Amino acid sequence: MSRYAVGIDLGGTYIKSGVVDPEGCVVARGQVETAADQGKDEVVRRIVQSIQQAPELAGIDPGDVVGVGIGSPGPLDTKKGVIHFAPNLPGWTNLPLAELVEGDLRSALPLASPTAQPPQGGGRGDCGIPIFLENDANAAAYAESWVGAGKGSRAMILLTLGTGIGGGIVLDGEIWHGVADIAGEIGHVVINFDGPVCGCGRQGCLEAYASAPALVRRTEEGLEAGRSSVLRERLANADDEDKARLINDAAEEGDELAREMVQATARYLGIGIINYLNIFNPDTVVLSGGLAKAGPVFWDTLHRTVGTAPFEISREACRVVPAQLGDDTGVIGAAGCAWKRSEIST
């Protein structure tokens, strides 16, 4: 009998859903708007609906769904299924999401065996399928280590390069959660305590140097200082979220300011990655997010920088590679956590 896990990727804008088989293949996908502004009850309703519709989308029997994983932003308690708070979901404070979703599902959905006991860590409902909550960055890390760029790795660090720098740590096939489910704040390691102030309040975090906004800020400072660049016009007319990509494109075209800025970003990131090499001695570092899609100007500089890592054994044991899973990452990771934690994975 084929069995499946449902993965829910809860974002500030969209709720993505997917039905995922034991090999990590997504056999069906769905997406609805999160509608966070309509309050948390509506968001929960949409999550429940996404779960309910998933089997039909995939053309499978609802009874073949072994568990649901929800990847959510914010610090959260994976064991209790509670979101402490979520920056992009206003009013979500100490929200028992797993219990709420399970409660709604229980009354409505003919999933799984009514006698099945949910395993520890799942929701506590007595006749539903288990709902597992996972931090979205950890879920992404798990996805890449399971079936993506880190497949087969023994120790993998994921860095997600976007507005912030997040990520996750997967050691011997397990997400490292820490003692209070808040490990893996990969972007909030200080690489220069005299550096620019970070969103977290400290100075000189990796995020304050190597996130997309940091790249844009330095480039705009260069323009303000009178540097000549094709970016002067392009950035003036661009949306904020496009600017980092435009800078990378200009760097690949040979624009000197853009090259300098992209290379600086890659060097900062390399310093942070070497720190992780020295701490973890991983075999794989995976980069995802916009910057990871940059071209050779970025990647060559990054590899050159990581090549200066002081411990040869550690340096040679590790590859630094782009993520592979793209838009499916969140859904695969959430489902993968459900597979893993329901202990029925292949």
Q: In angstroms, rounded to a whole number, what is the distance separating the alpha carbons of residues 6 and 273?
A: 33
Type of residue numbered 133: L
Min CB(280)–a copy of itself separation in Å: 5
Q: In angstroms, rounded to a whole number, what is the distance separating the alpha carbons of residues 123 and 117?
A: 10
Q: Any idea what DSSP says for residue 239?
A: -
Binding mask 147-186 for a copy of itself (x = CB under 8 A): -------xx-------------x-x----xxxxxxxxxxx
Type of residue numbered 308: T
Residues numbered 65-124 forming contacts with a copy of itself, rule: CB under 8 A = 75, 84
Looking at the Cβ atoms of 43 and 210, the one nearer to a copy of itself is: 210
Looking at the Cβ atoms of 231 and 273, the one nearer to a copy of itself is: 273
Instruction: Return the range that interacts with a copy of itself (CB under 8 A); candidates 14-22, 188-196, 222-230, 236-244.
Output: 188-196
Bridge partners (DSSP) of residue 72 are 135
Triad 287, 72, 24: Cα angle to 5°? 60
28 binds a copy of itself (CB under 8 A): no
Q: In angstroms, rounded to a whole number, what is the distance separating the alpha carbons of residues 151 and 129?
A: 28
140 binds a copy of itself (CB under 8 A): no
Looking at the Cβ atoms of 111 and 261, the one nearer to a copy of itself is: 261
- Which residues, other chains included, contact 49 with Cβ-Cβ below 8 Å and sequence gap of 6+? 32
Given 241, 311, 327, 343, the residue binding a copy of itself (CB under 8 A): 311
Asked if 133 and 76 touch (Cβ cutoff 8 Å), the reply is yes
Q: In angstroms, rounded to a whole number, what is the distance separating the alpha carbons of residues 290 and 27?
A: 26
Looking at the Cβ atoms of 107 and 278, the one nearer to a copy of itself is: 278
Given 2, 193, 225, 239, the residue binding a copy of itself (CB under 8 A): 193
Looking at the Cβ atoms of 181 and 255, the one nearer to a copy of itself is: 181
Residue keyed to tokens 């794989």 = 284
Q: Which residues are near a copy of itself by CB under 8 A? A: 75, 84, 154-155, 169, 171, 176-186, 188-194, 200-202, 204, 268, 271, 274-275, 278-283, 308, 310-311, 313-314, 316-318
